[in-house]
Homo-oligomer: A and B are copies of this chain.
Amino acid sequence: MAVNFPSIDPAALYPVAGVTLGWAEANIRKPNRKDLLVIQLEEGATVAGVFTLNRFCAAPVTVCREHLDAVRKGGKGIRALVVNTGNANAGTGEPGMAATRATCDELARLTGLDAQQILPFSTGVILEPLPVDRLKAGLPAALANQQPAHWFDAAQTIMTTDTLPKASSRKVQIDGHTVTLSGISKGAGMIKPNMATMLGFLAFDAAVAQPVLDQLAKHVADRSFNCITIDGDTSTNDSFILIASGKSSLPAITSTDSPAYAALRDAVTAVAQELAQLIVRDGEGATKFMTITVEGGKNEAECRQIGYAIGHSPLVKTAFYASDPNLGRILAAIGYAGVTDLDVERIDLYLDDVLVAKAGGRNPEYREEDGQRVMKKSEIAIRVLLGRGDARATIWTCDLSHEYVSINADYRS
């Protein structure tokens, strides 16, 4: 069902020096599947993260924030990440917090780390107690399984309703030094990240100072995971984590002003965008991949607001599913997006290269067959020109199909 999802060769995912990954089958929700991942980092790595703004954030999100704060206040660096699928540990109250802390404590005991040096993540069904004993029992196997080359297995381990594992990797040259980047992501439904996607982990071997890495994480999230939507539902567990292992020969990056920072930022953004787009391509029931660009806005926020209104509209999404150029639905979405001083008479709408609406009305030269031709494609660009400024924003989304309803009506069955 996925839309032009690239074939991912496990051998093309580069190990990142200083990072190992190991998985286990812990029977969190279902037997005989990888559902527990431990990522270990050598000493000296820096780690930054952005997390969901959902007020019902999961217990592990709260603990991640605490542990990263402790590092910023001078605590020992993060040395391990532990991720379970099958259970989100969200909406679980105090018992949920206790289960997350118990997980960190157990991994600390097994590795000789402090619990504060561990970041916990969960994804799966909300409002059900985390089977913490099974999780703890799986940790030794995940530790025994640690390998630098396990990125593809790690991507498989964190899947829930995903039909395909999501990973991206590249090497770049910065100031004559090779920097290696690898990342994985997961998510297919409950996707409208508001700081980050459900889960995304991206490591590279350059050394980056903590405050710089914090800024980089925000910069990258805003240009990747925060630009996608599948169903407009912001998850309770969204987490995006950047890991700088520091093993590259490139001198440490300590300022956002350096050319090395700019080069690294662009490489990280490219990998993160690919990971984010893979989530949309594997969106629940997706048959089309749409790139919505809103240009000519007064500011980026209003461009994003309009892009999301289009990307969330069930009517727009079902029309794309049907390849039906019922494009008035896009105008309706622009109109209700909440930009209250919008002058619709300045608005142009393109579908790929076809000018559908001009100055707020139907383009007299628009022919239904031109719209139809574009709608039949599996990758479609929607371009909205607001004509009131220089700002722009891009949102990536997919259509809404019968299959989406089937998947979400049956998810727990």
Contacts of A94 in B (CB 8 A): 361
A324 sits at the interface (CB 8 A): yes
| A235 CB to nearest chain B CB (Å) | 7
| Cβ-closest chain B residue relative to A409 | B322
Tell me the residues in window 100-151 of chain A with beta carbons closer than 8 Å to chain B beta carbons: 125-129
Interface segment out of the listed A70-78, A244-252, A334-342: A334-342
B54-A318 in contact (CB<8A): no
A400 to chain B: which residues have CB within 8 Å? 314, 405
Which residue from B128, B335, B357 sits with its C-beta under 8 Å from A362? B128
Distance in angstroms from A131 CB to nearest chain B CB is 14
Query: Is residue A243 contacting chain B, with contact meaning CB distance below 8 A?
Result: no
Which of A56, A88, A342, A344 has the most C-beta atoms of chain B within 10 angstroms of its own C-beta? A56
**Is the CB of A266 closer than 8 A to any CB of chain B?**
no
Asked if B408 and A405 make an inter-chain contact with CB atoms under 8 angstroms apart, the answer reads no
| Interface locus among A4-12, A26-34, A290-298, A325-333 | A325-333
Nearest-CB distance from A380 to chain B (Å)?
16
Q: Which of B127, B361, B404 is within 8 Å of A328, CB to CB? A: B127
Q: Is the CB of B334 within 8 A of A56?
A: yes
A312 contacts the other chain (CB 8 A): yes
Other-chain residue from B56, B92, B332 in contact with A190 (beta carbon distance below 8 A):
B332
Is A232 an interface position by the 8 A CB rule? yes
Q: Is the CB of B331 within 8 A of A236?
A: yes
Contact between A93 and B361, CB atoms less than 8 A apart: yes
Chain B's closest residue to A95 (CB) is B361
Using CB atoms, name the residue of chain B closest to A92.
B361
Tell me whether B233 and A326 are in contact (CB under 8 A): no
Report Cα–Cα, A132/B121, bound state, in Å.
Answer: 60
Is A258 close to B, CB under 8 A? no
Residues of B within 8 A of A336 (CB): 53-56, 192, 194, 233-234
Q: Let me know if A152 is at the binding interface, CB within 8 A.
A: no
Chain A residues 29-56 with CB under 8 Å of chain B are 53-56
Asked if A345 lies at the interface with its beta carbon under 8 angstroms from chain B, I say yes
- CB <8 Å contact, B233 and A333: yes
Can you list 22 A-B pairs, Cβ within 8 angstroms, ordered by A? A53-B340, A55-B344, A56-B336, A91-B361, A93-B360, A93-B361, A96-B361, A125-B326, A126-B332, A128-B362, A232-B314, A233-B315, A233-B329, A233-B332, A236-B335, A314-B314, A318-B405, A318-B409, A322-B413, A324-B410, A326-B411, A401-B405
Which A residues are closer than 8 A to B by beta carbons? Answer: 53-57, 88, 90-96, 125-129, 189-190, 192, 194, 231-236, 312-315, 318-319, 321-322, 324, 326-329, 331-336, 339-340, 342, 344-345, 356-357, 359-362, 400-402, 404-406, 408-413
